Amino acid sequence: MRPYGKVSVRLGLGLVLSAVLGSEAAFAKVQVLPDAQLMVDGKTIKEHKRLLGQPVVKELLASFERAETAVQKEDLVALMAFYSPAYNYHGLKETDVRRVWGEVFMHYKAVESLHMLSDIKVRQVDSRLQAEVTCTGGLYGTEERTGNRITLDSWFREVHYLVKEDGVWRFLGNAGEAPAAAPFSAAPHHPLF
């Protein structure tokens, strides 16, 4: 990828977010897009108001909102409650994510994320509910050293996997081929959401 590739992707995402959300972007941290659909119990629900009224959607949104509140408060303990003990993304486990979030909070202030959910699929797997949530969004912060507001990460139609454990939805990881292991020094922000 050319050096300017990631900048153009981020700029493109910013333009998409502005077009979709308008001035709401600063206020709507977690939202279900108007054309989203939910697949649950063998049924597809496309009507937005009906979809938002579904208990599973309300629960998923509440989990993302609790995570966002923890991010804004830099509350690592509360934030880690969003992650399943079985979390695995490209070989990074729950302890790796804790370390990465600690580094993010050390180097950036006013950290926040944006999640726009488009497709939600819920299914029963081995007596547990699992969800595949397609999400577009980003992670933003102000650099401690320079005071500049930057995009730490952005994603477009990323599939997040969640599992319902102890009555709440927790993050398992994202879609995609995972290498056997990631180097210890790897600290990508991308697996955080």
The pLDDT value recorded for residue 175 is 72
Of 160, 74, 62, 82, nearest to 117 by C-alpha is 160
Asked if residue 8 belongs to a domain, the reply is no
Instruction: State yes or no: pLDDT of 183 exceeds 80.
Output: no
Asked if residue 17 belongs to a domain, the reply is no
Mean pLDDT of 106-119: 94
- pLDDT, one tens digit per residue, over 38-91 is 999 889 999 999 999 999 999 999 999 999 999 999 999 999 999 999 998 888
Asked if residue 11 belongs to a domain, the reply is no
Asked if residue 181 belongs to a domain, the reply is yes
| Mean of all residue pLDDT scores within the chain | 81
- The beta-strand segments (E) located in the chain are 30-40, 43-45, 88-89, 92-93, 108-125, 128-143, 149-165, 168-174
The pLDDT value recorded for residue 127 is 87
Secondary structure letter of residue 26 according to DSSP: G
| Strand 108-125, strand 30-40: pairing | parallel
Domain that holds residue 114: 28-192
The pLDDT value recorded for residue 90 is 80
Give the pLDDT band of residue 191 (cuts 50, 70, 90).
low
Distance CA 180, CA 131 (A): 24
Distance CA 18, CA 151 (A): 15
φ/ψ of 11, rounded to 5, equals -60, -45
Query: Where residue 93 sits, what CATH number does that domain have?
Result: 3.10.450.50
Asked if residue 5 belongs to a domain, the reply is no
Mean pLDDT of 172-176: 78
Structurally, the chain folds into a number of domains equal to 1
* 3-class secondary structure, 179: coil
Asked if residue 15 belongs to a domain, the reply is no
* Choice between 133 and 7, residue whose per-residue pLDDT is larger: 133
Distance CA 133, CA 120 (A): 5
Give the pLDDT band of residue 180 (cuts 50, 70, 90).
very low
φ/ψ of 182, rounded to 5, equals -115, 145
Burial of 65-90, coded b for 16+ CB within 10 Å and e otherwise, reads ebbbebbeebeeeebbebbbeebbbb
Instruction: State yes or no: pLDDT of 18 exceeds 90.
Output: no
pTM (two decimals): 0.78
Task: Tell me the one-letter amino acid at 178.
Answer: A
Asked if residue 155 belongs to a domain, the reply is yes
Helix H segments across 36-93?
Answer: 48-52, 55-73, 76-80
Distance CA 53, CA 57 (A): 7
Q: What proportion of the chain, given as a percentage, has pLDDT over 70?
A: 76
